[in-house]
Amino acid sequence: MTISCRIGLLRLADSAPVLVARSMGFFDRHGLDVEPVIVPSWANIADGLVWNGLDGAVMFPPLAIMTALGQRGRPVALRPGLPVSRGGNMIVLRGQAEAQAQWQSGRDKHRAFTNWAQSLGRKPRLGVVHLYSTHYLILTRFLQANAICRDTETEIVIMPPSSMIQALAAGEIDGFCAGPPWGADACLKNLAFVVAGSAQVMPGHLEKILTLRDQWTSENPDGAARLYAAVREAAALCNHPEHAAEITRLLSAPLNAEGLDLPYEALKRIMPGTPDAPDAMLFDTQPRSTRSSCGWMIEDMQREGWLMPAQLDTLSQLGWYND
């Protein structure tokens, strides 16, 4: 029997395994009718899971955790699911060659950041894709590592990743931390330069997972196993450099042609195996425990005050947390 599943995605390159699995027939072979539902923001993803518009989603763990705990209106049982991607995020700041050279020439990054901020004439506005995101936690760690106070020396602005290039060009933000390929696109458009990536701040960190609503898995007892098998096959294919050109074409295709309408040249810069690209994407092909990869996130979320001690019991029951 064919199983239907609606999976929420954003216009991000690390959504690739779901699109590849559909395009290359992996879902069909596993008896699945998967509908990728492409939405504009992470808030749409969370709301779709809560209000039954989605059966699952490719998303980052902090948002999945907070959604499970009821931060989008009501609790919804979400478990860690399948790891999909690791790394790939970039932190970029407004500026071109001169600003980049000044940043790279000095060892004191706090001073470099202060000098850069003074050139703006105001407190820098830095974009992140959602409050409950790996991006927010990674940006926070980057700032702390360079003795920069997030709360007094910057202003954090929340916006969808696909809006950041326009916001940067319009002067609405002065930098951002976002997933692929938006950091590469900002650099190619001479709007910004890279100051750090996932490989520097949190090497090998888990970025996206495929999480499913408990209601869907209960109604489809072998559905998760079939879905995860298809996505792992697609992720393995996505990791091979010899497939980079066709996956780039798929991701850059228009939305009405089953693509994500992502910038082609930026995609070429961040595909797995790209030479001299330390912050290229890496897709996860192992069915290892997501729980073991979320410890640092949960610790940081507690420090931010997002998680109370009583909530850890719920997370433990859902498989996110080992007490």
Cα 301 → chain centroid: 16
- pLDDT (tens digit per residue) in 160-183: 999 999 999 999 999 999 999 999
Return d(Cα 144, Cα 162) in angstroms, integer: 26
User: Residues 10-41: pLDDT tens digits?
Assistant: 999 999 999 999 999 999 999 999 999 999 99
Whether residues 108 and 7 share a domain: the answer is no
Instruction: Look at residue 32 and tell me if it is in a domain.
Output: yes
- Residue 311 inside a domain? The answer is yes
Helix, strand or coil, per DSSP, at residue 271: coil
Q: Are 78 and 46 in contact (CB under 8 A)?
A: no
Structural domain contains residue 270: no
pLDDT, tens digit (0-9, with 9 covering 90-100), for 273-291: 888 777 788 998 776 666 6
Block residue for tokens 């001169």: 98
77 and 125 share a domain?
A: no
Domain count, the chain: 2
Sequence-ordered alpha helix ranges (H) in 240-294: 244-252, 264-270
pLDDT for position 97: 75
Give the model's pLDDT for residue 124: 97
CB atoms within 10 A of CB 221: 9
* Final residue in a domain of this structure, among 172, 201, 230: 201
Please check whether residues 183 and 111 belong to one and the same domain.
yes
Q: Are residues 127 and 227 in the same domain?
A: no
Residue 106 has pLDDT above 80, yes or no: no
User: In terms of domains, do 114 and 129 share one?
Assistant: yes
Kindly compute the dihedral angle of the four CA atoms of residues 247, 249, 250, 251, in this order, to the nearest 10 degrees.
90
Which of 135, 289, 293, 299 has the alpha carbon at shortest distance from 206?
Answer: 293
- Helix, strand or coil, per DSSP, at residue 145: helix
The residue range of the domain holding 180 is 90-201
Q: Which of 201, 216, 231 is the last residue of a domain?
A: 201
Residues 235 and 292 in one domain: yes
pLDDT band at 230; cut points 50, 70, 90: very high
131 and 172 co-located in one domain: yes
- The pTM for the full model equals 0.95
